[in-house]
Structure 1
Amino acid sequence: MAPIDSSEIEAARAGWHYRGAHRPPFAISPQPGQESVWDYPRPPVCVPDRRHIQIYLGDRLVADSGAAVRVLETAGAPTFYLPPGDIDAGCLRPARGVSFCEWKGAARYWHVIAGADTVTAAAWAYPDAGGRFAAIAGYLAFYCAELDCRVDGERARPQSGGFYGGWVTDEIVGPFKGEPGTSGW
């Protein structure tokens, strides 16, 4: 991977319109018991989450945790990171490729496997996350498009666009980045 030019990152950050300080007029107003992704901050934050998180591939329980960390960022559905000890390591195989987050650094990916079923590059981690993201260093997150990912029993839906790994549940409202017309967010 080519080195990231810090001046390019700073220039991109300077162009942000939304940083969680106020909801834009097009944001959905949350009802009691809901959160607006437009109230989440930018830069993002890590928040411990003790709800029951389960991830299945078919009938196989891949992960079962009560010690998740949610990463919350303006306009994005929360991403749940789970401690490695709460994940069935027999369901993971390293995948090729890396990506880079301006906050968390380089991500590594894993295929999720259960019997004859494989979901390619369905999990990722930031092994060297530091600073405000040290809480998720080595924790794994999962795309829920092809996995059954649950928060206290509610099946999460994937954040639109295929790139972001956020989990949409009934407790959050958007619109969410990744949906059509959101490329400027």
Structure 2
Amino acid sequence: MRATVDGTVIAEAPESELVRIEGNWYFPPSAVAPGALSESPTPYTCPWKGPAQYWDVVTPKGTTKDGAWSYPDLMPSAVDRVGTDFAGYVAFSPGVTVSEG
């Protein structure tokens, strides 16, 4: 699977390494291109996953504000609910295309 913005690859990994939650693909942190994400101050807490970290997606053509998010410190019940630990995995918002590579 591949996440792209304006033709720039932001993240890439085999589907078997991703986690699908609520219609979103979560990429392992190691799949994200170096320098592609910049920490955003946008706050959000999911009632069942816990506090989120939003990221701006940075490409040579510009920045997609809050184009990605992750959950660095998951609630234990979230791991139980999903069946795997996805702490730090990164999902992408509209504006970032996620497709089969």
Give the TM-score band, short-chain normalised.
Answer: 0.7 to 0.9
Deviation at 1:133, TM superposition (A): 2.8
Residues 1:116 and 2:61 aligned together: yes
> How many angstroms does 1:97 deviate by?
1.8
Which runs of 5 or more residues in structure 2 are unaligned? 80-84
Name the SS for the 1:98 alignment partner.
coil
Give the alignment of 1:8-157 within 5 angstroms.
Answer: 53-66=1-14, 67-72=17-22, 78-134=23-79, 135-143=85-93, 145-150=94-99, 152=100
**5+ long unaligned stretches in structure 1:** 1-52, 73-77, 154-185
Q: What is the count of residue pairs matched by the alignment?
A: 94
Alignment of 1:156-171 (within 5 A): none
Structure number with the higher strand fraction is 2
Q: Distance in 1 between matches of 2:6 and 2:61?
A: 10
What amino acid does structure 2 have at the position aligned with 1:142?
A: F
Q: What is the identity percentage for the equivalent residue pairs of Structure 1 and Structure 2? A: 30
Structure 1 residue runs of 4 or more that deviate by more than 6 Å after TM superposition: none
Larger RCO: 1 or 2 (CA < 8 Å, sep 6+): 2
Q: Quick check: 1:54–1:63 contact (8 Å CA) kept in 2?
A: yes
Find the aligned partners of 2:28 and 2:56 in 1 and give their Cα distance.
17
- Which residue of 2 is the match for residue 18 of structure 1? none
TM-superposed deviation, 1:89: 2.8
Counterpart Cα distance in 1 of 2:91 and 2:11: 10
CA distance in 1, matches of 2:34, 2:56: 11
Higher alpha-carbon Rg:
1
CA-based RMSD of the aligned residues comes to: 1.4
